[in-house]
Amino acid sequence: MRNIFLGQLLLLLVVSSSLFAQRPDKPTSSEIYHELQQLNFLGSAMYIAAHPDDENTRLISYFVNDVHARTAYLSLTRGDGGQNLVGPEIRELLGVIRTQELLAARRTDGGQQFFTRANDFGYSKNPEETLSFWNEEEVLGDVVRAIRQFKPDVIINRFNHRTPGSTHGHHTASAMLSVDAFEKVNNSSAYPETAKQYGTWQPKRLFFNTSWWFYGSQEAFEKADKTNLMEVETGGYYPSLGLSNGEIASLSRSMHKSQGFGSTGTRGSQSEWLEFLKGDFPENKESLFEGIDTSWSRVEGGENIGAILEPLEDDFDFENPSSMLRPLLQAYELVKQLKDDHWRTIKMQQLEKIILDCGGIYVEAVSETNSINPGNTYKITLEAINRSDFPVVLQSVKTTNGTVLLQENTTLEPNKRYEFEATLTSQSKEYSAPYWLKEEGSLGMYKAPPDKIGLPETPAPEQVQFNIALSRTELPVVRDVVYKYNDPVDGEVYQPLEVLPEMTVSIADKVLIFPDRDDRQIPVTLTAGRDNVNGFVQLNYPNGWEVSPAQQTFNMERKGESKTVLFTITPPRDQSEGYLKPLVRVGDQFFDKELVTIDYDHIPFQRVLLSAQAKVVHIDLEKEGDRIGYIEGAGDAIPESLRQIGYSVTTLSPDAITLKKLEDFDAVVIGIRAYNTVPELAFKQTILNKYVEEGGTLVAQYNTNRGMVTEDVAPYSLKISRDRVTDENSDVSFLAPEHDVLNEPNEITQADFEGWIQERGLYFPDEWAPQFTPILGMNDAGETQTKGSLLVAEYGKGHYVYTGLSFFRELPAGVAGAYRLFANILSLGN
């Protein structure tokens, strides 16, 4: 008993350290016991939704830790379209972070992760719009593929497929595609390639994970007919893990840090409600797996295996798990004989892990460097240790393409560490990078090679196989080659070994705004990916622009060294935009990629190769006024954008909002969602209004209408609604064409609403006092016109502006018209 308790204490430490994928898994006895419970359950469940964070981690953890089923979450997208609360990454780089956050969540709750090629292109009001951006045929094919590959008995949709328009279009679309896939997966003529590759499959039943929320109120739900509903108790406590299901679910959910979804664990009974949709109705409502044999007898030849493995749960040896090696090896030999490919593969993997874990057998392959170039030869250190009394022999070590690194039988004496050096030549000819970012896709779809579709991440480029014999059983143990180092503060740090180019190049600012014809010096940074590299760099540029010099030479001696060279850029006379693209030449090779590093504590270290480029925009722009005060909200890059067009911008902390301070500025801008995130603003509106009254210009950007620190955001009444216009190309009409904001100092025309990205705007007010002038009308197809996207009022001697237009997206993206309109807003009264 004592040891079990100690195991629980240790587990807490392991839970927090096993969050890092590259770090080897080192389970306690209690965790091995859990692995054994999962080994003895032959059933699978899959949860399907649209985004990272849609998944119900309570239910996923319940399936894994209570039922002991293989459990997967299929997220149709990687969440690229959202906002980032932990750093500057957006779009595809945010997708990389959220992919890793999902993997971190699954390492916490024990599930597996799948994706489709669908891109989270931004908010969508209904599934029809979603499916017009996604390639429906391909995304449905990817859902079918994931189901055929994973073979779930039970599928659960997060969203209701019957209520389009009630939630994000991606949500409803995920449920519709899941329902469609449920009908197609067992038909070999639907998506015949994956039917051939994985076989067809019929899941037993499909549910919708409903709750009172979908019924409007708790009362309505209590009264509802529940014939088709199943209640599942998901509040169980797992003594072997020391945690309640709700606590594991919260640890898992808290991995979605870029979305600020930290969650506090709950203990005690908690129900989930599942609405039966398709398949075999579970008449007794006893178990989601009702009518499915989830014991070893499920597979032909399985009874004998169950007879060996099931008693091990009752007699589990927590003090010395290696005492169970004989029966585990006996079972392994029988599993190897199973005719069923699907279960044989899964159970061999699970058993291999349990055997190594029970024996305290540890192997790793560590590279001397964290990056190599394609075809490089590099040194690795191989470590092998057997921390049991069981006889273990290391027979050989090979690369996965068959090169022998070590070939003499070495008996691994109990608790003696063996270390070997080896030299190997890179097996990978491709650069390491997220596979879905290698080729440019469309707005709605990523491209992926067929053998990678569905994978959460790109497999490690370099692997080795340790052939280990325990008695007469041979285990092929494959390990990624990793890099590790000792950090004076953090201690042991693991990183992936990556295959990278010999040269990378970057321009730090991704959007360069030229508000006039003055030339600018642009720094281009070169980084050596190997020792002794020299060559030339040039900049490709759009028509009409001028760049000098034509090329620059460089010479670097050490890998990792960086050098910055300057090019002078002169914009053309007219408004113009395009891209600067650096091109590096070394001998007869060309390099044009930038290496981006993503390094956060909660996810493994990531490096991404992107095309090196910077957008250059020459905007025909006039402005009045110069000094801008910026009150930060939830975080946006508008101050940087305003500096690029020549404003002097001062960021103001809430304490600095005093009338005396505000008087320094020609205009004061309030950052996005400030009235949602800055509590002090509840007490500052009087000062802000006074600033306007005395002649200032105050510009408030969008806030969500729920959870505001005050309703009092303007000198006159204003009601924020959920109105949004998501089509970035929707028509815009000028409701007040003579108003200064559309004419001074820049004359705004329809051309200024071209080239916008992602959306027009969001959370527009829908009611306002008569003192406001609505400036613009716009709407998505089939909807009534909104008039609240830009509201201007005079108050005292000054101007108050409320705008839900997405300047926070358009300005950092270099949209010329958005700059011209914003300059007019700031020029009001100046």
Taking the least distance from each CB to Zn ion, the nearer of 40 and 119 is 119
- Nearest to Zn ion of 146, 742 (CB atom): 146
In the complex, least distance from residue 534 CB atom to Zn ion, rounded to whole angstroms: 49
CB-nearer residue toward Zn ion: 51 or 68? 51
The site that binds Zn ion (CB under 5 A) totals a number of residues, namely: 2
Amino acid at 115: F
Tokens 């300005």 correspond to 811
Distance of closest approach, residue 103 Cβ to Zn ion, in angstroms: 18
User: Which residue reads 């119900």 in tokens?
Assistant: 56
Comparing CB distances to Zn ion, the nearer of 51 and 530 is 51
Binding segment for Zn ion (CB under 5 A), chosen from 44-52, 437-445, 461-469, 622-630, is 44-52
Least separation in angstroms between CB 397 and Zn ion:
45
| Residue 242 falls in which region: left (phi positive, over 0), alpha (psi -120 to 50) or beta | left
CB of 136 to Zn ion, least distance (A): 19
- Angle value at C-alpha 645, between 640 and 648, nearest 5 degrees: 65
Rounded to the nearest whole angstrom, what is the least distance from the CB of residue 469 to Zn ion in the complex? Answer: 49
What is the helix (H) or strand (E) element at residue 547, kind and residue range? Answer: strand 546-548
54 binds Zn ion per the rule CB under 5 A? yes
Shortest distance (Å) from residue 171 CB to Zn ion: 6
Nearest to Zn ion of 374, 456 (CB atom): 456
Hunting for tokens 């029988």 — which residue is that?
334
Contacts for 252 with CB less than 8 Å, ≥ 6 apart: 57, 60, 61, 105, 106, 108, 109
As measured in angstroms, the least distance from the Cβ of 73 to Zn ion is 12
256 or 684, CB closer to Zn ion? 256
Contact stretch for Zn ion (CB under 5 A) within 54-62, 116-124, 364-372, 549-557: 54-62
Which of 169, 321 has the CB closer to Zn ion?
Answer: 169
CB of 726 to Zn ion, least distance (A): 15
What Cα–Cα distance (Å) separates residue 728 from each residue in 230, 630, 702, 757, 779? 42, 26, 17, 6, 10
Least spacing, CB of residue 47 vs Zn ion, in Å:
13
Point out which span in 43-51, 310-318, 665-673, 730-738 binds Zn ion (CB under 5 A).
43-51
Nearer of residues 174 and 746 to Zn ion, judged by Cβ: 174
Q: What angle do CA 785, 787, 793 make, to 5 degrees?
A: 175
Stretch that binds Zn ion, among 47-55, 515-523, 578-586, 731-739 (CB under 5 A): 47-55
Is the CB of 51 or the CB of 484 nearer to Zn ion? 51
Query: Considering the complex, what minimum distance in angstroms separates the CB of residue 54 from Zn ion?
Result: 4
Closest CB to Zn ion among 78 and 684?
78
Pull the structure tokens for residue 591.
Answer: 């390099």
Question: Which residue has the closest beta carbon to Zn ion?
Answer: 51
DSSP summary character for residue 431: P
By beta-carbon proximity to Zn ion, the closer residue of 171 and 398 is 171
Residue 625, helix vs strand vs coil: coil
Beta strands in 290-409 (DSSP E): 361-367, 371-372, 377-386, 392-399, 404-406
Closer of 120 and 728 to Zn ion (Cβ): 120
Pick the piece of the chain touching Zn ion (CB under 5 A) from 49-57, 70-78, 158-166, 233-241. Answer: 49-57
Residue 649: closest CA among 811, 814, 516: 811
Task: Find residue 75's DSSP bridge partners.
Answer: 49, 115
C-beta atoms surrounding 120 within 10 Å: 24
Peptide bond preceding 549 in cis form (omega within 30 of 0) = yes
- Is the CA virtual torsion 587, 590, 591, 592 positive or negative? positive
Handedness of CA 262, 265, 270, 274 (dihedral sign): positive
State in angstroms the smallest separation of the CB of 56 from Zn ion. Answer: 12
Q: What residue spans of 110-188 are helical by DSSP H?
A: 127-133, 136-150, 169-184
Q: What is the CA radius of gyration of the chain?
A: 30
Residue in the block written with tokens 């609604």: 721
Between 675 and 763, CB nearer to Zn ion: 763
Task: Provide the β-strand partners of residue 794.
Answer: 799
Please state the closest distance from residue 255 (CB atom) to Zn ion, in A. Answer: 16
Q: How far is the CB of 77 from Zn ion (least distance, A)?
A: 9
Nearer to Zn ion by Cβ, of 51 and 799: the residue is: 51
Name which of 54 and 272 has its Cβ closer to Zn ion.
Answer: 54
Strands 491-496, 473-487: pairing is antiparallel
Contact 539, 524 (CB under 8 A): yes
Q: Which stretch binds Zn ion (CB under 5 A): 50-58, 356-364, 532-540, 755-763?
A: 50-58
Shortest Å, Cβ 261 to Zn ion: 11
Q: Which residues pair with 279 in a beta bridge?
A: 205
128 or 430: whose CB is closer to Zn ion? Answer: 128
Q: Is 51 in the site for Zn ion (CB under 5 A)?
A: yes
Q: Which of the 8 DSSP states describes residue 471?
A: T
Cα distance between residue 143 and residue 805, in whole Å: 36
Considering the complex, state which of residue 170 and residue 618 has its C-beta at the smaller distance from Zn ion.
Answer: 170
Pairing of strands 361-367, 473-487: parallel
Give least dist CB 52 to Zn ion, A. 8
Closest CA to 119 of 87, 89, 95, 88: 95
CB of 172 to Zn ion, least distance (A): 11
Please report how close the Cβ of residue 327 comes to Zn ion at its closest, in angstroms.
Answer: 45
Amino acid letter, 461: P
> Looking at beta carbons only, is 54 or 502 nearer to Zn ion?
54
- C-alpha pair distances (Å), 10 with each of 15, 96, 240, 406: 9, 31, 11, 35
Helices and strands (H and E) in the chain: how many? 19, 43
Tokens 């100690």 identify what position?
6
DSSP structure string for 633-661: -S--SHHHHHHHTT-EEEEE-GGG--HHH
Q: CA 385 to CA 26: how far, in whole Å?
A: 13
Is 120 one of the binding residues for Zn ion (CB under 5 A)? Answer: no
- Selected range binding Zn ion among 53-61, 228-236, 289-297, 332-340, rule: CB under 5 A: 53-61
The encoded tokens of residue 68 equal: 């002991």
Shortest separation between residue 130's beta carbon and Zn ion, angstroms: 12
The alpha-helical segments, DSSP class H, found in 243-292 are: 245-253
Residue spans of alpha helices (H) in 40-167: 57-61, 91-109, 127-133, 136-150
Which span sits near Zn ion by CB under 5 A: 46-54, 415-423, 585-593, 724-732? 46-54
Contacts to Zn ion by CB under 5 A: 51, 54
